[in-house]
A and B are shown apart, each in its own frame.
Chain A
């Protein structure tokens, strides 16, 4: 149990376009999902916390207008990178928190590799 999927696994887009990444909890309802960004050979940087039915909470320094997060249902959160630029190329990972289970324990998706050309 506690499986989280991400789609797509890889995406290449042209500079100036937008790209949407989906994060789904497959076998549980996730009231909270997290979006991370990971640069090569670095740790995970938390970008934002996504709560179902409310606005996402962004970490300091993350542009909320550039990284749009929507958590419209208990099993789906989306991250849209708007007007993407090459510096947005990165590995994006989502995770889901399963309420009623272990505190802080997050289940991670497999990640999405974004390349902006």
Chain B
């Protein structure tokens, strides 16, 4: 079965610093990968997705992610973090059946000024 691991529960970065959130997946074939962001008390917003093609994917709000098949990873990056980026970030992989998504546990990002 598919699974997603986000090894970092919390990450704190300074405003203006770079950010990398880690995501590892388990899936036999080429995965469909997603990053979502959730602000407190809100639903999820899609940041970016990878289906095929270029392994470096650009998303909204200045985020990007790189698919590395050899490492089974899909890490999210941002070169300069803004205070408004503080939120929880979820990595997800498309499951085999029924267009379901399997989510990682999430990483809470704190931004310090």
Which B residues are in CB contact (< 8 Å) with A107?
46
Residue contact A104 to B101, C-beta cutoff 8 Å:
yes
Q: From the candidates B45, B49, B94, B106, name the one contacting A43 in the complex (CB within 8 A).
A: B106
Residue contact B99 to A110, C-beta cutoff 8 Å:
no
Q: Is the interface of A mostly helix, strand, loop or mixed?
A: strand
How far, in angstroms, from A34 to B95 measured CA to CA in the complex?
13
Given contacts A43-B90, A44-B103, A104-B94, contact A110 B46 (CB under 8 A): no
Which A residues are in CB contact (< 8 Å) with B98?
32, 49, 57
Tell me how far the C-beta of A3 lies from the nearest C-beta in chain B, rounded to whole angstroms.
Answer: 11
The contact size tier of chain B is 20 to 34
How far, in angstroms, from A38 to B34 measured CA to CA in the complex?
18
Which A residues are in CB contact (< 8 Å) with B100?
34, 46, 49, 104
Chain A residues with a Cβ closer than 8 Å to the other chain, count: 26
B13 within 8 A of A: no
Residue contact A110 to B105, C-beta cutoff 8 Å:
no
Residue contact B43 to A93, C-beta cutoff 8 Å:
yes
How far, in angstroms, from A86 to B41 measured CA to CA in the complex?
19
Question: Nearest 8 CB-CB pairs, A to B?
Answer: A104-B94, A108-B43, A108-B44, A110-B43, A104-B32, A43-B105, A43-B103, A111-B43
How far, in angstroms, from A41 to B106 measured CA to CA in the complex?
9
A54 within 8 A of B: no
